[in-house]
Structure 1
Amino acid sequence: MSNGWAASADAWISSQGDAGDFARRHVADAPMLERVRRRRWRRALDVGCGEGRFCRMLAAKGVAVVGADPTEPLIARARELDPEGEYRVEPAERLSFDDGAFDLVIAYLSLIDIAELEAAIAEMVRVLEPGGVLLIANLNGFNTAGDVNDLGWVRLEDGRQAFALDRYLETRVGWIEWRGIRIQNWHRPLSVYMRLMLDQGLVLTHFDEPSPHSGDPARVARYMRAPWLVLMEWTKPGP
């Protein structure tokens, strides 16, 4: 069954542009890059790289990065925008790289798209060398437990807005639509992600729920009302 990404690729590319959407541009980019700047990386892998936006940002910082994504039109666009970059069409659940091939693996808002999450996490850890880092930005489970097409907000009888969520502890998949894009998103409680990382023997070395650092004041205020994103850094034990 299709998850909608191939059919939505053109609309996604048009929607993102070079700048990315609000959550990436004004919330997640800065803290993600701050974690990357902490040390010099030998080789990085961006899992679910899409059209390669974050790969290009990493390359501009001098990071040797490989992008992997299962959606062929998105990888084609990444190669078009970055002819010198390395991009591969392959799913997170079945990576073709050798064990320990990378010292940094990144999942930037891609875990919510992956059905076989346990297999994908295991693969990310397999290709990570001992002492390497798995850096994750993901939609907060509080957010994905709401009605994604209304961004979780409902209007109360007295006119106030409130964030409504339901079935938080239940792992489930749903369709989200905007700007001609129609894709599947997975909701999972935070405990699912934490347990899978811990089961792989990873050590949590950084955790954050980043807030907007710039952007339209009305959008910033909206993003400050409820948790939107979560950022985690996990280290694979080793020398």
Structure 2
Amino acid sequence: MSDGWTESADAWVASQGEEGDFGRRWVMDAPMLQRVRLRPYRRALDVGCGEGRFCRMLRAEGIEAVGIDSTEALVDHARRLDPSGDYRPEAAEALGFEDGSFDLVVSYLSLIDIPDVRSAIAEMARVLAPGGRLLIANLASYNSAGDANDLGWTTLPDGRRAHAMDHYLEEKANWIAWKGIRIRNWHRPLSTYMTLLLDQGLMLTHFDEPRAHGGDPARQAHYDRAPWFMLMEWAKP
């Protein structure tokens, strides 16, 4: 069964452009890069790199970045946008790298797209070198537990906007559609991610729920009503 990514690849690339969508450009990019700049990373793996935008940002920081994605159409786009980059069609659940190959592994809003997240997290930990960091940006779980196409936001009878969610503790797949894109996302409670990461022997070194830091004021105000995303950094002993 298709997850929608191959069919949505062109629309996804168009939606991102060079600067990314609002959530990436105005919410997550700055805190992600801030964490990257704290340590002298040499080689990074971007798991679920899509069209390669964050790989290009890592390369601009002087880091040797490898991007993998299970959607070959997106890998092809990444190669066209960055011919000198290293982009490979691979599944996160079975990474084709030796143990400890990277001192930085990144999952930038990709865990919600991975069906077998247990295997994927184990693989990310395996290819991470001792002393390295796993940097994760993910959709906040209370968002993914809401109605997929409006991320839980609804209008009350009196006109107020409120957030509603249900079945938070159940792992489930949802289909979400916008701007010609229709893909399958996975909802999991935060405890699932935390348990899987702790089971790999990783240590949490940073956690944040970033605010928007610019862009259209109305959209910024909407993103600041509740955290849309979370950022986690985990160290491998």
Question: Which bin holds the TM-score, normalised by the shorter protein?
Answer: over 0.9
The 2-side partners of 1:22 and 1:188 are apart by 23
Counterpart in 1 of 2:190? Answer: 190
* Structure 1 residue 107, shift from structure 2 partner: 0.1
Amino acid in structure 2 at the alignment position of 1:137: A
2:125 matched to 1:125?
Answer: yes
1:129–1:236 CA contact under 8 A, matched in 2: yes
Counterpart in 2 of 1:92? Answer: 92
SS of structure 2 residue aligned to 1:154: strand
Counterpart in 2 of 1:22? Answer: 22
2:163 matched to 1:163?
Answer: yes
The 2-side partners of 1:96 and 1:155 are apart by 46
Matches within 5 A, 1:224-239: 224-237=224-237
2:83 matched to 1:73?
Answer: no
Counterpart in 2 of 1:5? Answer: 5
Counterpart in 1 of 2:32? Answer: 32
Across the two proteins, how many residue pairs are aligned to each other? 237
* Structure 1 residue 158, shift from structure 2 partner: 1.5
SS of structure 1 residue aligned to 2:223: helix
Two-structure CA RMSD over aligned residues (Å) = 0.7
After TM superposition, the score normalised by the length of structure 1 is 0.98
SS of structure 2 residue aligned to 1:122: helix
Counterpart in 2 of 1:82? Answer: 82
2:82 matched to 1:53?
Answer: no
2:202 matched to 1:202?
Answer: yes
**Fraction of identical pairs, as percent:** 68
The 1-side partners of 2:170 and 2:61 are apart by 39
2:219 matched to 1:219?
Answer: yes
1:142–1:227 CA contact under 8 A, matched in 2: no
* Structure 1 residue 151, shift from structure 2 partner: 2.8
Amino acid in structure 1 at the alignment position of 2:109: L
* Structure 1 residue 216, shift from structure 2 partner: 0.6
After TM superposition, the score normalised by the length of structure 2 is 0.99
For structure 1, list consecutive stretches of 5 or more residues without a partner in the other structure: none
1:109-134 deviation per Cα after TM superposition (whole angstroms, max 9, x unaligned) = 00000000000000000000111100
For structure 2, list consecutive stretches of 5 or more residues without a partner in the other structure: none
1:87-109 deviation per Cα after TM superposition (whole angstroms, max 9, x unaligned) = 10000001000000000000000
Amino acid in structure 1 at the alignment position of 2:217: P
1:132-175 deviation per Cα after TM superposition (whole angstroms, max 9, x unaligned) = 10000000001111112123111112221111111111110010
1:56-110 deviation per Cα after TM superposition (whole angstroms, max 9, x unaligned) = 0111111110000011110001011111110100000010000000000000000
